[in-house]
Amino acid sequence: MNKDQLKGKLRQARGTAKQKLGKLTGNRRQHAEGEVDRTMGKVQERYGAAREQVERRIKP
């Protein structure tokens, strides 16, 4: 696991927390921000995995 994957997982967790808090308090904006953070975290995690695969193929 590289730093991009770790950051992605943390962003997903933070987004999930924001979503739940927004839903609990009725704050639609916070809920939406949580969805965006969670989605961007998934993208970042997958980017990190792809980057790791490329690095493995390049390095002998």
Contacts of 27 (CB under 8 A, 6+ apart): 21
Can you give the pLDDT at residue 1?
A: 83
Residue 59 predicted with pLDDT over 90? no
Return d(Cα 12, Cα 20) in angstroms, integer: 12
Segment 13-57, tens digit of pLDDT: 999 999 999 999 999 999 999 999 999 999 999 999 999 999 889
Residue 7 predicted with pLDDT over 90? yes
What predicted TM-score, i.e. pTM, was given to this entire model?
A: 0.83
